[in-house]
Amino acid sequence: MMLSRNGRKILIAPSILSADFLALGEEVREASSAGADLLHLDMMDGHFVPNLTFGPPVIEGLRKITDVPLEAHLMVEHPEIYLPELAQYGMHRVTVHWEASSHLHYVLSRIRELGMRAGVALSPATPVTMVSEILDMIDLVLVMTVNPGFGGQSFIPHSFEKIAAMRDLLDKRGASHVRLEVDGGIKPANIARVVDCGADTVVMGSAIFGDTPCEAVFRDIRKRLEENQ
């Protein structure tokens, strides 16, 4: 098993944003059988980010074709609006942006109240300390390693330091229940380094749904992580 710096299983979460939407069912089945630990679903509203993707009806369909746990990454304003529907469609965990929630404490308690795990995402310019007051309310912190909105962007190099700073903060506060997820520009070539910095959950979009078959990408990922143990 591939382990993170703090001894947890490293989870790989393919983001369907780069999948072929005309063959979404097939793409999701392929990623599920290649070894996806979670399916990462990027919901965008054209307001919080300058892009639109899909909403709860698509998620309802996806739930029926895979047993892999679903995680929603909400890049939307007023994320609380969508929570009951996401819970109804069996969402395992929901991540909201720190920058998009004026009443983050309330939104996080709603997520848990509805029986889902709660996550907070930080855009690149948001300091790691912004999670300080809510560590006991979250199961996951998502460090964005690109600006949210689009797949296929380049990893922001400063993110290595930021991931390490977040790892440090979580360790110092004894928040071992909080997973540290990274999202944006992660490829087989840099996955070992983000894990070295302290990430334990890795989102990958264009790398997994690109030209190389899913299965081969997963083999490559495992090889690189194993070599790095």
Number of chain positions touching ligand DX5 (CB under 6 A) = 22
Sole window of 13-21, 55-63, 157-165, 188-196 interacting with ligand DX5 (rule: CB under 6 A): 13-21
Q: Which of 20, 42, 200, 220 is catalytic?
A: 42
Q: In this chain, which residue has its C-beta nearest to ligand DX5?
A: 205
Contact indicator for 120, 138 with CB cutoff of 8 Å: yes
Q: Among 86, 68, 39, 54, which Cα is nearest to 203's?
A: 39
* Residue 136 falls in the annotated catalytic set: no
Residue with tokens 């964005």: 144
Cα 3–153–123 angle (5° rounding)?
70
Q: Is 204 in the site for ligand DX5 (CB under 6 A)?
A: yes
* Residue 67 falls in the annotated catalytic set: no
Question: CB within 8 A of 109, min separation 6: which ones?
Answer: 137
Judged by CB under 6 A, which of 73, 110, 162, 179 binds ligand DX5? 73
Sole window of 51-59, 64-72, 183-191, 193-201 interacting with Zn ion (rule: CB under 5 A): 183-191
Q: Is 18 in the site for ligand DX5 (CB under 6 A)?
A: yes
Contact positions with Zn ion (CB under 5 A) in 35-74? 42, 73
Specify the pairing of strand 140-144 against strand 117-122.
parallel
Residue (15 or 159) nearer to ligand DX5, CB: 15
For the beta carbon of residue 47, count every other beta carbon within 10 angstroms: 12
| Calpha distance 172→97 (Å, rounded) | 23
Residue (46 or 115) nearer to ligand DX5, CB: 46
Residues involved in catalysis:
42, 183
